[in-house]
């Protein structure tokens, strides 16, 4: 080995040691070691009320997704009564801090207020008219301020590839998906339009169902630019399966957004209170395994998705204190990058290493 090669090698070792050292958390954020956006879901009120959480959000991320404020039940809780305050504040925050804002979600069965569901059951013609008017109003208001929308969130059944039997499907039929996409495109021709769903990385029947829907929409020239993998994935999901599923989705040519990432140790049945508590404590071995898995996720994303199709990686919350996993599934778990004291875990450093390595390679 020549002297110059030895020097390069030693510098490389020093750099790797630096990135692994938790005492050096003052360095630049995740967003600075990635060539695509790194995001987090955000509750703006909660974030602004906690200085440490606010500092982490601004330092680490350059893309934001609202947890709830942009969902229909918050924007239009009662008929003819739009409430824009929360979303307007989020728009202002994202622009002030030079962060991409991603819209989540225009049509979602669980985000549909009861008054809309009641009217859908009674009048399908009203449903078609309302679908277009609602999407047009929301997308037009934030035109040029929101970079992309989950136009349809969770359109498929929990398992398998069939369309979910929602009030939207029952009232309008399968065409509600295309109608929603067309309305969003008409309101903002430059915004990215996504279909977003969960378990696509492990339920191949569900993924195939989504891809069949995508191909049908493309054959009808329906505007659609991306697929969202929620990626609430588990430690026991094989990397080989994740890679296969991501490659199949990327073969459509659409942008791929890992849109709601967290990494769970325990299991669940995808329903409220459906958690299965297999692990009671977070051991050092578990922490290292999680770090390795997060690091590998970045590599899988790079291996499966061409650079032009990488819309970014967004976490559904970045700390174990606020994670939705615990309250929704009624289990104790540790699925995020930061612990309950808002300190970076090994998971953070593993994910960061994955970004740094692929960023240097320039894939």
For the chain, 363 residues long, give each residue's pLDDT as a single digit of tens.
Answer: 444 444 443 334 344 443 444 445 557 999 999 999 999 999 999 999 999 999 999 999 999 999 999 999 999 999 999 999 999 999 999 999 999 999 999 999 999 999 999 999 999 999 999 999 999 999 999 999 999 999 999 999 999 999 999 999 999 999 999 999 999 999 999 999 999 999 999 999 999 999 999 999 999 999 999 999 999 999 999 999 999 999 999 999 999 999 999 999 999 999 999 999 999 999 999 999 999 999 999 999 999 999 999 999 999 999 999 999 999 999 999 999 999 999 999 999 999 999 999 877 654
Confidence (pLDDT) at 82: 98
Residue 25 is predicted with a pLDDT of: 52
Helical pair 239-250 and 284-304, crossing angle rounded to 10 deg = 30
Using DSSP, how many helices (H) and how many strands (E) does the chain show?
14, 11
DSSP sequence for 35-55: SS-EEEEE-HHHHHT-HHHHH
* Spatial contact of 331 and 276, defined as CB atoms under 8 Å apart: yes
What pLDDT is stored for residue 27 in this prediction?
77
Name the phi and psi angles at 307, rounded to 5.
-55, -45
Residue 110's SS3 state is: helix
Query: What is the reported pLDDT for 6?
Result: 42
Which candidate, 195, 194, 76, 199, places its Cα nearest to that of 141? 76
Report CA torsion sign: 19, 25, 28, 34. positive
**Pairing assessment for the beta strands 267-268 and 275-276 based on DSSP bridges:** antiparallel
pLDDT at 9: 39
Fold of the 28-267+306-318 domain: TIM Barrel (3.20.20)
User: Which residues contact residue 85 at a Cβ distance below 8 angstroms, ignoring those fewer than 6 apart?
Assistant: none
Residues 6+ apart with CB under 8 A from 134: 72, 76, 106
Angle among Cα 33, 260, 292 to the nearest 5 degrees reads 55
Give the model's pLDDT for residue 359.
79
CA-based end-to-end distance of the chain: 27
pLDDT at 118: 97
Active site residues: 154, 197, 260
- List the one residue out of 34, 51, 73, 85 whose CA is nearest residue 297: 34
What pLDDT was estimated at residue 224? Answer: 98
């Amino acid at each position: 080995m020549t002297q110059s090669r030895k020097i390069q090698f030693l510098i490389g070792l020093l750099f790797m040691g630096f990135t692994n050292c938790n005492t050096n958390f003052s360095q630049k954020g995740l967003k600075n070691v990635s060539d695509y956006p790194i995001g987090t879901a955000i509750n703006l009120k909660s974030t602004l009320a906690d200085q440490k959480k606010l500092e982490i959000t601004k330092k680490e991320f350059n893309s934001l997704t609202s947890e709830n404020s942009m969902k229909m039940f918050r924007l239009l809780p009662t008929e003819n009564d739009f409430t824009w305050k929360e979303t307007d504040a989020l728009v202002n925050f994202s622009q002030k801090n030079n962060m991409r804002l991603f819209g989540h979600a225009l049509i979602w069965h669980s985000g549909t207020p009861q008054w809309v569901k009641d009217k859908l059951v009674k009048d399908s013609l009203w449903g078609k008219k309302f679908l277009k008017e609602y999407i047009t109003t929301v997308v037009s208001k934030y035109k040029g301020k929101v970079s992309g929308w989950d136009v349809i969130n969770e359109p498929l059944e929990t398992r398998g590839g069939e369309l979910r039997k929602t009030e939207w499907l029952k009232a309008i039929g399968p065409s509600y998906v295309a109608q929603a996409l067309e309305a969003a495109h008409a309101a903002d021709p430059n915004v990215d339009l996504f279909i977003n769903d969960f378990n696509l990385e492990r339920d191949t029947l569900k993924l195939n169902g989504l891809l069949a829907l995508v191909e049908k929409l493309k054959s009808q020239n329906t505007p659609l630019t991306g697929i969202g993998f929620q990626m609430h994935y588990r430690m026991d999901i094989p990397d080989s399966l994740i890679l296969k599923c991501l490659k199949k989705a990327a073969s459509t040519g659409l942008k791929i957004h890992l849109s709601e990432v967290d990494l769970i140790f325990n299991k669940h049945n995808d329903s409220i209170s459906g958690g299965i508590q297999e692990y009671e404590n977070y051991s050092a071995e578990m922490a290292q395994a999680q770090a390795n898995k997060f690091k590998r996720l970045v590599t899988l994303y790079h291996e499966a998705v061409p650079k032009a199709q990488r819309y970014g990686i967004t976490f559904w919350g970045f700390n174990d204190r606020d994670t939705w996993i615990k309250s929704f599934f009624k289990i104790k778990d540790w699925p995020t990058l930061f612990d309950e004291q808002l300190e970076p875990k090994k998971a953070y450093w593993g994910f960061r290493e994955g970004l740094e390595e692929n960023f240097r390679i320039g894939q």
